[in-house]
Structure 1
Amino acid sequence: MGRLLRLQLLHLSLNSFSGKFPSNISHCTQLRVLNVISNELTGSIPDQLGSLLKLTHLWLQGNHLPGKIPEWIGNFSSLYSIALGDNNLQGRIPNQLGRLTSLGNFLVSSNNLSGMVHSSIYNISSIHIFSVTDNQLRGELPQNAGITLPNLEVFAGGVNKFTGTIPASLSNASRLRLLDFAENGLTGKLPAESLGRLKWLSRVNFDDNSLESGKAGDLTSLSFLANCTNLEVLSFSRIHLGGELPESIANLSTKLRIFTMGGNLIYGPLPTSIGNLVNLTNLGMEQNHIGGSLPDVIGKLYTLEGLYLNLNIFSGPIPYSMGNLTLVTRLFMEGNRFEGSIPPSLGNCQNLLILTLSSNKLDGTIPKEVLGLSSLSISLSMHVSKFFEWFPTR
């Protein structure tokens, strides 16, 4: 292959090529696109490839390449897209990559990279996809990130060791669609007012950080996100949010599919306005202090597949309207104070796989309509006197 001296495009992705990366490709000095994504290649990236100075796309993602990211990649002045994710790369991201002034895509996720991202990389204004998720990277996110990276569409650094606050300047990156820094050590407040200016924002995930104060009023800023009319994913679980869920969640985008706020310090009732979010597929409110009756409007969320209400202080009966959730597969309601009997309408949930009702105050019998769900796994706690009444032949 190294004899193909006029070769410009090499696409070998999604195959089962194995062995070490062939260094003689370095003779193909006219090469512009090198694409071997999703193969079984091993061995470190050969230094000989440093001669491919006309490369615009270097796609090595999804192999088994160990070693470090070569510093000589910084010499590829025409490089537009670099994809090195899902390998076994380690060490630091070379500072030399900051010289790639034409770079648009920077994807190095799912490796074992460490150290800090050099400020020169955050200054490459042409970048629109920045993904370093699932590494061991540390340091603070630059507060002017939205100014130095004005063309950002994807800004993803989840599952790392980033610290500091979320840059409010991200509101200047008007094209931003995906913002994901879950599972880091970020602190401070959610800049919801700034994020609310991003009209194309579709996914926000800050799960598992040390944000907010756990005090009343933390959730009032959610109203700013109503301006994000393309929002599909909103994940703020386990970030120390406190206060009551405001009725203004009714104004969140009707495109919202995933809405998770589990493991916080939220109290008060679940607002009836939750019924406006008609396209939800997953609603996660577990491990909070949300109480009162579960509103009947929950039955209007016809597209729900997962409902997580466990470990709260809900009381009163389980709404009969939950039988309308015919697509639901996971229904977690344990660890509350639900009373009365299990509504037979749950038998309409033909896709239900998991139903957990343990540690409540339920009584009566399990309806035959529910027992008839052949794929269902039920977890309940019960009074001993009720056991043989519920399972007389089992």
Structure 2
Amino acid sequence: MGENMIRGGIPVGIGNLVNLNRLGLEGNHLEGPLPDALGKLQNLEGLFLNNNQFSGPIPSSFGNLTTLTVLFMEENRFEGRIAPSLGNCQKLLILNLSSNNLNGTIPKEVIGLSSLSISLDMSNNFLMGALPFEVGNLKNLAELDLSENRLSGKIPTTFEDLSKFGALVFGGFGSVYKGVLSGNGAIVAVKVLNLQQQGASKSFINECDALRSIRHRNLLKIVSVCSSTDHEGNDFKSLIFEFMCNGSLDQWLHPKNNVQHQSKRLSFIQRLNIAIDVAYALEYLHHHCQTPIVHCDLKPSNILLDEDMVAHVGDFGLVKFLFEESNNSSKTKSLSVGLKGSIGYIPPEYGMGGQVSTLGDIYSYGILLLEMFTGKRPIDEMFKDGLSIHKFTAMALPEHVMDIIDSLMFFEEDGEDADNERNEDDREERSIIEDHHVNVSSGIKDCLISIFQIGLSCCATSPDERMPTNVVVNEMNSIRDTFLKFKEDTEE
């Protein structure tokens, strides 16, 4: 019954289906609390409740489902504490409770469930407290995701051998952890490389080479580097960065659940500021480093936001150093061969064996700009049969620009933080918007058209037609000045 449009709640009578082996209700519009009667289905091996609007607590009767091997409950509105009785399900291989409103501490009975060997995902909740000692029981687990919670305290000593896991939080060639430096108590992000992954060691060297020589307010700052061996004599490499408390741009542009949709909304001026920050970072890498640097993997998940929503470009694992400058940067040679990147952001010439160049980053920036203001990923399922995010945008300009924008940038938000200047700009911006959808002033409409035109120019198919980064910076700043002037005139 999965992936339908079934509404309402689960009837208590479902407990009569005692011989049921699999129950798939995922991807519907089901709501309300789960009946305790589900605990009577003691022959159940697979339970799929994900992507609905279920609410209330996880029934303690789920502890009776001792034959269960997979349990998917993500993308709902479950709340309260995780039922410790889930620890009775000692045949579970996969448990996914992510993207709900669960709170409290993680039960030791659940985190210590040694049968879990494929995946345990509790991300995007409100879980707090320390990680239980029993996490050391997960000796065979391939994937553990506890990101986007409120966990604190020390990592248990039983968790020493990080190589047991495929990842805690996926990111490039490694996993990223939040930590506290013992000396000054500073919160940092620790990227631990998975050295079993092909290219990880090269990525580590690339990041070290790039980050040791660059300093810019819009680049992620490295705090320290560790290259050593663990307690078993295996190579261990990690990078320690400044912690960015507002996460990645990707999390703001594409919230995973209803809670994030309410709390993570980027206004027009915030998006414009972030886009300018990224342009400044690229201009620095391309034109102000001793050896020009090409990032090669510019995308929303590699753009991190600090407490003031200032953007910092990170993840330099794929960077290329240009050892020879020329007047035409699209012809500049690179020290590296065998380019990698992220689908949707890789310039077309790279796929045809073209040389690495700064114009490749500009292409990625153009795609990023279109994504930021349409709210659509370049790999969105709507882009097929020859339609791309570039074509989608070009066809709408200029008359239908308001039909393609991400309307979330014109929604009001509650609980605004009044302490920083950017949030003040945000509030002032909303005060001049007459309607929360697309009926905005002609001044903002003109700004949007200009932004999209820059995006289209940057991601032109031909590298020679792309706008250089220094021109992008000037043009984007001009758009911001125009918008702020328009805002001032409107307020008078």
| TM-score tier after normalising by the smaller chain length | 0.5 to 0.7
For these two proteins, the number of residue pairs brought into alignment is: 286
Query: In the alignment, is residue 17 of structure 1 matched against residue 6 of structure 2?
Result: yes
> 2: distance between equivalents of 1:280 and 1:175?
30
Match of 1:120 in 2: 109
Residues 32 and 379 of structure 1, relative CA distance in 2, 3 Å threshold: same
Larger Rg: 1
Query: In the alignment, is residue 351 of structure 1 matched against residue 459 of structure 2?
Result: yes
Match of 1:211 in 2: 180
**C-alpha deviation, 1:61, in angstroms:** 0.9
Q: What residue identity is the alignment partner of 1:123?
A: G
Deviation string, structure 1 residues 255-282 (Cα, Å, up to 9, x no partner): xxxx995767xxxx9897977x967767
Residues 101 and 57 of structure 1, relative CA distance in 2, 3 Å threshold: same
Q: 1:139 aligns with which of 129, 134, 138?
A: 129
**C-alpha deviation, 1:103, in angstroms:** 1.4
**C-alpha deviation, 1:50, in angstroms:** 2.2
Higher percent of residues as strand: 1
Contact 2:223/2:240 (8 A) holds in 1: no
Contact 2:107/2:132 (8 A) holds in 1: no
Residues 244 and 51 of structure 1, relative CA distance in 2, 3 Å threshold: closer
Matching of residues 259-270 of structure 1 within 5 Å: none
Contact 2:458/2:466 (8 A) holds in 1: no
Match of 1:187 in 2: none
> 2: distance between equivalents of 1:99 and 1:205?
31
Q: 2:364 aligns with which of 328, 333, 345?
A: 328
Q: 1:156 aligns with which of 117, 125, 145?
A: 145
> 2: distance between equivalents of 1:271 and 1:166?
40
Matching of residues 28-43 of structure 1 within 5 Å: 28-43=17-32
**C-alpha deviation, 1:109, in angstroms:** 1.0
Matching of residues 363-374 of structure 1 within 5 Å: 370=467
Contact 1:179/1:203 (8 A) holds in 2: no
Higher percent of residues as helix: 2
Deviation string, structure 1 residues 281-331 (Cα, Å, up to 9, x no partner): 675585499xxxx95369756747779xxxxxxxxxxxx941244641358
Match of 2:80 in 1: 91
**C-alpha deviation, 1:27, in angstroms:** 1.5
Q: Which runs of 5+ in 2 are unaligned?
A: 208-217, 228-238, 245-287, 305-310, 315-319, 324-328, 347-355, 370-453, 482-492
> 2: distance between equivalents of 1:222 and 1:181?
10
Query: In the alignment, is residue 64 of structure 1 matched against residue 53 of structure 2?
Result: yes
Query: In the alignment, is residue 51 of structure 1 matched against residue 36 of structure 2?
Result: no
> 2: distance between equivalents of 1:63 and 1:34?
14
Q: Which runs of 5+ in 1 are unaligned?
A: 1-11, 183-200, 247-258, 308-319, 333-345, 353-366, 385-394
Residues 56 and 115 of structure 1, relative CA distance in 2, 3 Å threshold: same
SS in 2 for 1:89: strand
Deviation string, structure 1 residues 173-221 (Cα, Å, up to 9, x no partner): 6552231299xxxxxxxxxxxxxxxxxx965233xx4534799xx99x9
Structure with bigger RCO (C-alpha 8 Å, 6+ apart): 2
Matching of residues 216-255 of structure 1 within 5 Å: 225-229=194-198, 242-243=223-224
Q: How much identity, in percent, do the aligned residues show? A: 23
Residues 28 and 231 of structure 1, relative CA distance in 2, 3 Å threshold: farther
TM-score by length of 1: 0.57
